[in-house]
Structure 1
Amino acid sequence: MDKLLKIITDVNSSVNNFIWGVPSMICIVGVGLWLLIRNRGVQFTKFGYAFKHTFGKIFNKKETSDGAISPFQAVCTALAGTVGTGNIAGVAGAIAIGGPGAVFWMWISALLGMGTKFAEVVLAVFYREKDSNGDWVGGPMYYIKNGLGKNAYFLAIAYSVLGILTVFGTGNATQVNTITTAIDSALFNYNLADRSNTFTINLVIGIIIAILVALILIGGIKRIGSVTEKLVPFMAAMYIIMAVVLVFINIKSVPGVFASIFEGAFNPKSVTGGVVGSLFLSMRKGVSRGIFSNEAGLGTGSIAHACSDVKHPVQQGLWGIFEVFIDTIVICTLTALVILCSGTEVAYGQAAGADLTINGFVATYGSWISIFTAVALCCFAFSTILGWGLYGSRCVGFLFGNKLIKPFMVVYAFVAIIGATMDLGLLWDIADTFNGLMIIPNLIAVFMLSGTVVKLTREYFQDGPGRFGVETGKEN
């Protein structure tokens, strides 16, 4: 058994290193640059307009049609899947392995990713369908099927299969494991529990999470949207406020931190004392962690956006720009500043996770902040479970129809118990590999359908945002 596990681990490691290595970096950055040029840098030239018509209207109440959710609920559901432990643990890992310069490359990936996510969302809304329940469904598998035709149908199937395989690990088990770790840490630090009771406590936590996830997901897209529109703004605002206050407390360190980020981006040795000496390593960690955080290139977020009640695809595409900006430029940058401004020690060259971010908060606020970090991690992880549950159900629906969606959701919820009580090292690595494989069919489709994105974008802005002559989606 041990030999078999070692073989699986070695094979997965080789595949993972290839997928998240040079080829994927070239594909992700290449498609991002292609869209930047073809669509005239819409994420920059229309950023002010996008911000005004997204963040500027989040408090506008709007009645939605049957089978749809509001644009704000759609972006919250998408953010629920993207704003997760990667924003806390992923950034810490990128800095530890790639040095402060990794943050710079994370910014670059986000700036290109804003255009990629815009394109994904536009395509998802334009090529969406209504299923047998009357709900809007869309995402990479649908814009591959409806945009590229029968010859590319195998790519849609491949994406859906990989999506189903990924959600149990990336979207559920590892997230629940993060929740139990955070709660255990907070309880033990405050002597509210004994370590001998850890398994029992984690089992109870897993059961509670499984029940909550099942109740929310089985309630359908409207219930998911209703929960995420409350949870996501709360958790993001709470984290941002605490991080911003920390930065102001350590304001004298900020200029030096930004200097280390820019210098380390091109000369990692000078900042890390020679421990991180590879420019490519810094670049790779920054780009890969940025993508892992905002999912631009994976196409998963567009599945939630496709449920939105909008008249024109570009309207929702603007929310895609906003989503990446909030997720990476704002939240991930604040996490980096928490680590680098607080003066907490970073062991460059060694793997690190959420503990490094937590140490940054503790170094400034004191040990009581561990309760806050536990709550933040729990909110981030739970929202990710909900977001990925939707993604998985849409992949199941695409392949097998709606009859298997509820059984899938029950199984998906049950996995929370496994995630709460088991060591998930190999499962996380395998899920990460499947996650990377999803990039391939999605980016092929986005590249080949980029002309459609350009046409819709120019039509929207040339004809005027008030004139919508585009028919989106179709009945099944």
Structure 2
Amino acid sequence: MSYVESFFIHLRTVDDFFWSYIGFTLVVSLGLYFTLKTKFYQFRTIGKLKQTIKDLHHESKAVPGGGIHPIRLYFASVGGMVGLGNVVGIITALIIGGPGSLFWLWIASFSGMLIKYAEIYLGIHFRMQNSEGSYDGGPMYYLRHAFKSSLIPAVVAVLLCIYGVEVYQFVIITDTLSQTFALPKFAVMLTLVGLTLYTAIGGVNRLASVCSILMPGFMIGYMAMCLWVIGCHFEMIPGVLATVVKSAFTGHAAIGGFAGSTLMLAAQNGIARAVYSGDIGIGYDSTIQSETKSQSPEKQARLAIFSLLTDSVICSLSILVVLVTDLWHKTPALLPSEYVAAALGMHFPYINIFMAVFFFLAGFTTILAFFTVGMKCAKFLSNTWGERLYLVYGACSFIFFSFFDQSKVILIMSVSGGLLMLINMVGIVKLRDKIYFK
């Protein structure tokens, strides 16, 4: 066994233990605490989308000075969350954890709404104005107040720099484009790296502009296709939902190409993928939203509830199209990136070309969003050299990990995300009295 294989085996052990026990407990318990404390604030807020947008729009017009329009930041936020994690990464939860993982994804998403609210509220509350006339915020800033130390914020900034190089979605895009259009893989990698670096240099403002253009059409188009497929298999829905709920608490026996799962596997994978896809407690969204023009932390933080709801709906649709078409346990097994394409391909022509373009648009916005946050964290660590060194590090990392298996790459994202979530959750608990749900 090579050193590389041994490293990933140990990493898998750490990842399994964390999400089976620590991550599971943190998300559910803290989310439940905020839910009960606020008398189910997330459910009361979901019905006030129109009023929230109206309030933020009016405030952004009335407040002079720097910052980015709150609604543009919503699309920047969604651009980082809604991507291949909703279409490919979430399918790994189904493959390993079974149908019950969807139920635990719902639990994590609704619990996570108030966790995201809390971290965005704190990010804006403790943010600082920068030399460009905008703002810098996020976990690096509020954790200073939580731990009364500069070491923990620096550790979080380093972890966000690692997490900011979204190698998993980069690998899927390069593999898909090179195979679908018979292009040289190295040429695809270099082109994608160049686009990412160029756009990220423009900061959150350029990110918001790109995502505001790409995300609305992507979300509407993908959800419409999924709903069509689910509607065509309408008679399967009651049985599928019953299986989802039953498997969430009893696991699922082996069937066809599915090896079987337990309750812990279902919970572990459902919650881990919800955290990865929705950025629950990781800090990406807090860093982005802190650049808002709004001076009201609670108003901007409410958008986190809607962005995570959007993310959860798209994840659910991705799993449901694979379940209702009965592809999830078929043999031979497909790659995680092939299941949704196969399900949609049963109803739409030229799906391989569509999915290649779709993967690029969805994945590029996420890669760009996370890399932009990594740039801000690198600048936090070193105002002089941080951004330059991060550009070099990012380019090298994207290319290096492109030659690794998809399952190994997402493992790196999962472990680093788990560490970030652990530190952020502790900070949020310590600062819970500073958070107001209005």
Tell me, in whole angstroms, the C-alpha distance in 1 between the residues paired with 2:21 and 2:42: 25
SS in 2 for 1:296: coil
Output the amino acid matched with 2:178. D
SS at match of 2:252: helix
Say which SS state the counterpart of residue 291 (structure 2) adopts: coil
Given candidates 163, 167, 191, the residue that maps to 1:166 is: 163
Q: Of the candidates 309, 320, 327, which is equivalent to residue 304 of structure 2?
A: 320
Corresponding residue for 2:71? 72
In the superposition, the TM-score normalised over structure 2's length comes to 0.91
Of the three residues 254, 258, 282, the one matched with 1:298 is 282
Instruction: Compute the displacement of 1:61 (Å).
Output: 11
Question: Which shifted more, 210-219 or 312-321?
Answer: 210-219
In 1, the alpha carbon distance for the partners of 2:81 and 2:190 equals: 24
Task: Count the aligned residue pairs.
Answer: 436
Change (3 A) 1:347 1:139: farther
Residues in 1 aligned to 2:262 and 2:331: alpha-carbon distance in whole angstroms: 12
Aligned to 1:468: none
Work out the CA distance in 2 between the residues paired with 1:447 and 1:349: 46
Residue 169 of structure 2, aligned match among 175, 179, 182: 175
Q: Is 1:356 aligned to 2:353, yes or no?
A: no
Residues 31, 114 of structure 2: 8 Å contact kept: yes
Deviation sequence 1:331-383 (CA, Å, 0-9, x none)? 011101211122325259979512112111112335x1122211221111101
Once the two structures are TM-superposed, the CA of residue 26 in structure 1 deviates from its matched residue by 1.0
| 1:382-410, Cα deviation, whole Å (9 max, x unpaired) | 01111111211121122212552244235
For the Cα contact (< 8 Å) 2:60–2:70, is it kept in 1?
A: no
Q: For the aligned residues, what is the CA RMSD?
A: 2.7
2:153 aligned residue (131, 152, 156): 156
One-letter amino acid of the counterpart of residue 127, structure 2: R
Structure 2 SS opposite 1:107: helix
Paired residue for 2:207? 224
In structure 2, do the counterparts of structure 1 residues 96 and 5 end up closer, same or farther at CA, with 3 Å as the change threshold? closer
**Cα distance change, pair 419–9 in 1 and its aligned pair in 2 (3 A):** closer
Secondary structure at the counterpart of residue 269 of structure 1? coil
Tell me what 2:51 maps to.
Answer: 53
Q: Which moved more, 1:435-444 or 1:59-68?
A: 59-68
1:309 shift after superposition: 1.0
Shift of 1:272: 5.3
1:184 partnered with 2:181: no
User: Quick one: structure 1 residues 58 and 185, their matched pair in 2 at CA, closer, same or farther if it must change by over 3 Å?
Assistant: farther
Q: Could you say what secondary structure the match of 2:346 adopts?
A: helix
Paired with 2:408 and 2:109, the residues of 1 have a C-alpha distance of 28
1:36 aligns to what SS in structure 2? helix
* Superimposed CA distance per residue, residues 14-47 of structure 1 (whole angstroms, 9 cap, x where no aligned partner): 3222222212211221211122222332111232
Q: Percent identity?
A: 26
Q: Distance in 2 between matches of 1:58 and 1:378?
A: 31
| Distance (Å, rounded) in 1 between the aligned partners of 2:55 and 2:366 | 24
Partner of residue 281 from structure 1, selected from 243, 256, 265: 265
Residues 49-448 of structure 1: pairs in structure 2 closer than 5 A? 49=48, 51-54=49-52, 67-145=66-144, 147-148=145-146, 150=148, 152-168=149-165, 171=166, 173-187=167-181, 193=182, 201-269=184-252, 275-328=259-312, 330-347=313-330, 353-366=336-349, 368-401=350-383, 403-409=385-391, 411-413=393-395, 415-420=397-402, 426-448=408-430
Q: In the alignment, residue 177 of structure 1 is paired with which amino acid?
A: V
| Structure 2 equivalent of residue 474 of structure 1 | none
Aligned partners of 1:361 and 1:369 also within 8 Å: yes
Distance 1:407 1:350, change over 3 A: same
**SS of alignment partner, residue 438 of structure 1:** helix
**In structure 2, how many angstroms separate the alpha carbons of the residues matched to 1:223 and 1:299?**
20
**Corresponding residue SS for 1:365:** coil
Structure 1: which 5+ residue stretches go unaligned? 188-192, 462-476
TM-score w.r.t. the length of structure 1 is: 0.84
* CA drift at 1:124: 0.9
Contact 1:83–1:380 (8 Å) recurs in 2: yes
Contact residue 203 and residue 421 of structure 1 kept, 8 A:
no
Cα distance per residue 1:157-216 (max 9 Å; x no partner) = 221111112223xx1x322211122223433xxxxx3xxxx5xx2222122222222221
1:268–1:123: structure 2 CA closer, same or farther, 3 Å change rule?
same
CA distance in 1, matches of 2:326, 2:408: 33
Cα deviation 1:62-95 (Å, max 9, x = unaligned): 6685542111221222222211211011221111
Residue aligned with 1:46, SS:
helix
Residues 231, 265 of structure 1: alpha-carbon distance in 2 compared, 3 angstrom cutoff: same
Tell me which amino acid in the other structure corresponds to 2:36: I
Question: CA separation in 1, counterparts of 2:406 and 2:95?
Answer: 22
Using a 3 Å threshold, how does the CA distance of structure 1 residues 442 and 61 change in structure 2: closer, same or farther?
closer
> Is there any run of 5+ residues in structure 2 with no aligned partner, and where?
none
